[in-house]
Chain A
């Protein structure tokens, strides 16, 4: 009977008022400080569970109207798009959100909004890469990069979204040639961005395609790593590939008004600055100041017409393409 005790304890603890429940693939340490701040300001409390996006969405589908969750936070546009197709999200009509979040960083039907942006760009070793040698993502596929490139696995959604944008902008045939070129030039494929950057630091390769905040974290720990950041495709339509971390209101939420209020708050200045700086990301609200370290990397151009829903739609094709060229 001893095992019943925790259940009884739980029964009593859950019934407090004004609690929002969040399913999130954003890691606890990257979301908790924000939630704590909101609780401090408004008294609204949070329940949250972290997991991978696919599992969370599957869980929401299985729970249907019985779900305890109010909000879904994910870390990739593709996942947000997929959630928007699964009939689990509800559109939010909010002037505040519309004002704070640019159109390319929200769902066309207001089913989700981005709250931070992540740039997937190139980092390089200035000792081995000559000035002017770097130009575009496509250029990394040319033979001069043979044996000089580090990549993260194709299983990571960040690469899937990047390839999806390549497919959208360049067309499938050209995109396939580019990705095949990367694979041919790669010395090692890593399970995470941090290892890929360490590959560049240690001289295993000269350049890698990574999200900036991984670079930022390493830089914060050791400012002398000697690796630099480069913004590719600044003179063409593509620009730097941007991904988002965002959220949507769940159709079966029992606290819709409170949830909407929270998201509106999250799009405002104070929350945005904290949300982005926790992980050295870029705020989705363009009027908010950047973290000093992030600011020091300079500005860049990206394709404002490319809505991340498209990356989601093309994600499946991107994975197929990567399988076809043996990108592990």
Chain B
């Protein structure tokens, strides 16, 4: 390993190391326990390797495969339509392509299970009125259905990153390749798409990690994956060591994903020299126009119409001012927690990104990349790891810290660990667009701190803001970690949803779910407005 070890940029190095320590140490402690921890009953692990792992391996693998496949297809198609075609309803499509971000996976899952279960009103209607048993055609608990529903929620990550990639490329390369005799399709496949590879792999990594870490969604479908097995061996078979061993396997997968992503994207460096005027080069034929229109309608129906219909029909009997007021404290707690976490995460990531940029070393960059590991680890496991470690530190310091403040602190640290990846993607990819020549020129004139505040931050402002808002949305949706680490009296909306859905009480869960969706929607609106202002000022 060759690190840039000269004394220059000491602050940057210390900062990267410090963040790495905070983020990685809980995992190391966890891995240590997985390997060396004494299990009071080793038979559980043996049982799990024989009877559980084969099944969850194939389940997790197929779910990850299908979900990434569907998400990439959906996200790329939307991004292509919005940036590179002359599709008439681009603006609506753009909004519909990011809107699904507001749904937590577990909410979307219980909406669709509620809709397509045998006993659901719609299914009953089809059976009674027309004698059609839809269940024969739609098995909502099959891996294909689950992946499709997950992709509905996750494909915006692909869309957003690819849109950024397509737009950032400008169309000068496209024009060059056209003038050299490539057809439009050839140019797209051979120039545009390959150039967008880092963004494709980047979003693929997000999708994979999100799928690996999901617990709430899969448990609604009763679909066994690593996370459900971790939970079962921990709480059912009382073997925390087995749970840590299974988590270790999951961490290994996450490292594989990160490693592959780093390898596939490392050699590609590019930056925009000039922002050329972008003219959509694809004129859609009638057939393609109708296809695009069908896709748009599908998105509207599946991600706006169906979820809102279902949520409203669940809570129509008890949706009044009083119940909204009752939920207000949870709404406030949710937004506050999300705001604080997003702020901390964004500051940390911005400093990380600029530090690693100053160091210009592959190894430092890899180390920085490691801080994004938390995204693939189930929230409850991070919670246990962070809680165990920091409680030890707290006790050894003399235990004078107020319990509630302490919990709030580690909750924010834990959430940051989990979602650093999201702001990392946004902020690092914006950084990649700043030409290194600019740094070189600036370095002759100013200190690093000046470069950060006067040059980097203004240039990547929109990346920072969209990163901030995406972390905000993610934290509002997060359930397992918040459930475990929230201080007394700081229940959030997702905690309420957990309490109701775990009892199958969809009607009561619908109001907090609606409020999360609403808060997410407002964030999305802010995000698009900021983007618009950003693009206008350019």
Contacts and interface: CB of A to CB of B under 8 A. Distances in A.
B236 A315 contact: yes
A324 B238 contact: no
B235 A7 contact: no
Contacts of B499: 27-29, 50
B527 to A, nearest CB: 22
A214 B502 CA distance: 12
Nearest to B395: A66
Contact of A323 (B47, B220, B484): B47
B236 A194 contact: no
Contact of B222 (A14, A47, A189): A189
Given A10-B487, A28-B491, A328-B224, A316 B44 contact: yes
Given A68-B403, A324-B51, A47 B491 contact: no
B41 A198 contact: no
Contacts of B503: 27, 192, 194, 214
Contacts of A51: 483-484
Contact of B504 (A48, A194, A316): A194
Interface string A173-190: 000000000000000111
B124 A202 contact: yes
A72 to B, nearest CB: 14
Contacts of A28: 491, 499
Contact of B118 (A157, A160, A188): A188
Contacts of B231: 54, 155
Nearest to A155: B232
Contact of A193 (B51, B237, B504): B504
A53 to B, nearest CB: 6
Interface string A48-63: 1111111100110011
Interface in B216-243: 219-222, 224, 228, 231-232, 234-240
A82 interface: yes
Contacts, number: 134
Nearest to A48: B488
B487 to A, nearest CB: 7
Interface stretch (B19-27, B301-309, B383-391): B383-391
B388 A47 contact: no
Which of A55, A64, A194: most chain B CB closer than 10 A? A55
Given A49-B488, A66-B391, A66-B395, A58 B402 contact: no
A101 B47 CA distance: 37
Interface residues of B, number: 60
Contacts of A199: 117-119
B408 A82 contact: no
Nearest to B237: A316
A55 B237 contact: no
A323 B51 contact: yes
Provide the main secondary structure of the chain A interface: helix
Provide the main secondary structure of the chain B interface: helix
A21 B407 CA distance: 15
A94 to B, nearest CB: 27
A218 to B, nearest CB: 10
B51 A320 contact: yes
A91 B404 CA distance: 28
A49 B490 CA distance: 9
Interface string B320-337: 000000000000000010
A292 interface: no
A6 interface: yes
Given A28-B491, A64-B395, A315 B237 contact: yes
Nearest to B243: A54
B418 interface: no
B380 A55 contact: yes
A14 B402 contact: yes
A54 B44 CA distance: 16
A289 to B, nearest CB: 25
Interface string B390-418: 01101100010011110010000000000
A64 B395 CA distance: 9
Contact of B119 (A50, A160, A195, A319): A195
B220 A66 contact: no
Contacts of A3: 340, 343-344
Contacts of A27: 499-500, 502-503
A328 B56 CA distance: 11
A40 B176 CA distance: 79
A18 B236 CA distance: 35
B344 to A, nearest CB: 8
B489 interface: yes
A198 B117 contact: yes
A160 B399 contact: no
A82 B220 contact: no
A7 B412 CA distance: 13
A307 interface: no
16 contacts: A10-B404, A28-B499, A55-B384, A55-B484, A58-B234, A58-B240, A155-B222, A189-B222, A190-B222, A192-B503, A194-B504, A195-B119, A199-B117, A217-B505, A316-B237, A316-B238
Which 5 residue pairs spanning A and B have beta carbons closest together?
Answer: A54-B235, A194-B504, A192-B504, A202-B119, A198-B119
Given A3-B344, A6-B336, A48-B488, 13 more contacts: A10-B405, A10-B408, A14-B403, A29-B499, A51-B484, A52-B235, A55-B383, A64-B395, A193-B504, A194-B504, A199-B117, A199-B119, A324-B51
